[in-house]
């Protein structure tokens, strides 16, 4: 799988582009308003972008979707619980997905993992043992749950019931560069991330 992490924006956002080496079909995750680096990488690697994923509906993660759709004609994918909010923001969602749903870009399979808590429709994307976590899980911490639609209880359950049980060797690629490194692994986060080492909701709520 072709894979690239791109740091962009005023909030240290990460966007991702990945694709199939055989078919050269590709997907983008959380595109920024300036898509020039995404398009440059796609052109250099001969990739055709056919899907654009929004891990959740916050503006810093979806600001580049409309312009990238205009450039590429790609289909927009979001979890069904955030899709209506995106539609209200004039971003047309072509595929509203659910937990466990699997999509393909060429020969690359992408699994949707619904992880509510930051937003109702927050989701992580697992492709070739690379987990793009949006604002659910950061390196060394997790996303906020105090914004509209957030839920501390749901976020705790998403982290501990959906992400913590994943295989140790899965690589973690967050939505922001907020940690001491740009990416991690499930094993490392299970050992060092206080949002995963805590054992109760009460402990989780005390983490700054």
Q: What CATH number did the domain enclosing 144 receive?
A: 3.60.15.10
* pLDDT at site 88: 84
pLDDT in tens, 43-74: 999 999 999 999 999 999 999 999 999 999 99
Identify the segments of the chain with pLDDT beneath 50. none
Whether residue 159 is contained in a domain is answered as: yes
Whether residue 115 is contained in a domain is answered as: yes
Q: What residues have CB less than 8 Å from 67, skipping those under 6 apart?
A: 33, 35
Bridge partners, residue 5, by sequence: 16
pTM: 0.96
11: helix, coil or strand?
Answer: coil
Q: For residue 116, what are the domain limits?
A: 2-203
Rounded to 5°, the CA angle 167-169-173 comes to 100
Task: Tokens 């402990």: give the residue.
Answer: 203
Whether residue 208 is contained in a domain is answered as: no
* pLDDT at site 10: 81
> Structural domain tally of the chain?
1
């Amino acid at each position: 799988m072709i894979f690239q992490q791109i740091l962009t924006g005023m909030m240290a956002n990460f966007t991702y582009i990945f694709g199939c080496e055989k078919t050269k079909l590709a997907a983008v995750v959380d595109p920024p308003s300036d898509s020039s680096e995404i398009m440059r990488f796609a052109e250099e690697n001969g990739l055709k972008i056919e899907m654009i994923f929004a891990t959740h509906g916050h503006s810093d993660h979806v600001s580049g979707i409309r312009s990238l759709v205009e450039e590429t004609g790609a289909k927009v994918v979001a979890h069904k619980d955030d899709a209506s909010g995106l539609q209200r923001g004039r971003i047309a969602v072509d595929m509203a997905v659910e937990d466990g749903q699997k999509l393909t870009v060429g020969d690359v399979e992408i699994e949707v993992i619904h992880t509510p808590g930051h937003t109702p429709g927050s989701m992580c994307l697992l492709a070739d043992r690379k987990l793009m976590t949006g604002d659910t899980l950061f390196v060394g911490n997790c996303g906020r749950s105090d914004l509209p639609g957030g839920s501390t209880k749901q976020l705790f359950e998403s982290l501990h019931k959906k992400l913590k049980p994943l295989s140790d060797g899965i690589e973690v690629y967050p939505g922001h560069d907020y940690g001491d490194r740009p990416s991690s692994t499930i094993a490392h986060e299970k050992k060092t991330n206080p949002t995963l080492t805590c054992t109760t909701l009460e402990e989780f709520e005390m983490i700054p």
